[in-house]
Amino acid sequence: MLILGSGGFAMQILDVLGEDPSYDFSKLAFFNNTGKVSNEFIHEHYRVISDEKDSVVKNESLEFILGIGNPSNRKSLFNLFSQLNRAVSVQVISKYAAISSVNVRMGEGVCIMPGAVVMGNTEIALGALINCNASIGHDSKLHQFVEVCPGAVISGNCTIGSGTFIGSNAVVFPGVNIGENCIIGAGTIVTRDVPPNQKVIGNPGVARQI
């Protein structure tokens, strides 16, 4: 198993994997190709790989986890590794998240962290990240590589476009649609639809072109 990233969120992924006492950490490694790696090992045990041509990466049955925040970075790393032969992006879902049993659909590479709540009739697409204590209301749809930061609330019947970032403790009102590649600032209250490529800040949120 390869965790893509070696920073703070990658350490959160390590914690979630550790929720299963039977998890085999012996074949786990991290990947960081940013050139900012200070050590070859994390916790003196897990190897940090910096080249996608490494023999571990080229393993025919490689499974990888998107262990990095930022929608653009998650998408770039997914695209890089999904081109490898037989590589598979694995979901990571904390046992301490509350996931409805009613028609919740999740794509590959989705990460749902401890304390998150996902209600029924929702769709969370490829590579999306729902961080700690975030809430996704009923009948909502999150498109590819959306990031919902800790404590953010997506109310019912919302649609969040691909690559959009929802900051910590932001609130999206019921029925609101947010376009792709938007940035919703921390603590922002979104009361109306947001076109693509907008940055929204404030209470109520005010949208400006990125």
pLDDT tens digits for range 50-98: 877 776 776 667 899 999 999 999 999 999 888 886 788 999 999 999 9
The owner of tokens 């990658």 is 10
Q: What is the model's pTM?
A: 0.92
What percent of the chain lies above the pLDDT cut of 70? 93
Query: Which two three-digit tokens encode residue 13?
Result: 């992924």
Whether residue 114 contacts residue 120, with contact meaning beta carbons closer than 8 Å, is answered with: no
Residue 206 falls within a domain, yes or no?
no
Whether residue 149 contacts residue 130, with contact meaning beta carbons closer than 8 Å, is answered with: no
Laid out side by side, the sheet with 205-209 consists of 92-93, 111-112, 129-130, 147-148, 165-166, 183-184, 198-202, 205-209
What percent of the chain lies above the pLDDT cut of 90? 75
Pick the last residue of a domain from 36, 64, 90. Answer: 90
| Domain count across the chain | 2
Pick the last residue of a domain from 90, 122, 137. Answer: 90
Residue 207 falls within a domain, yes or no?
no
Domain that holds residue 50: 2-90
Laid out side by side, the sheet with 141-142 consists of 105-106, 123-124, 141-142, 159-160, 177-178
Phi-psi region of 103 (alpha: psi -120 to 50; beta: other; left: phi over 0): left
Report the CATH number at residue 11.
3.40.50
Pick the last residue of a domain from 40, 66, 90. Answer: 90
| Mean pLDDT value across residues 126-130 | 98
User: Residue 36: pLDDT band by 50, 70, 90 thresholds?
Assistant: low
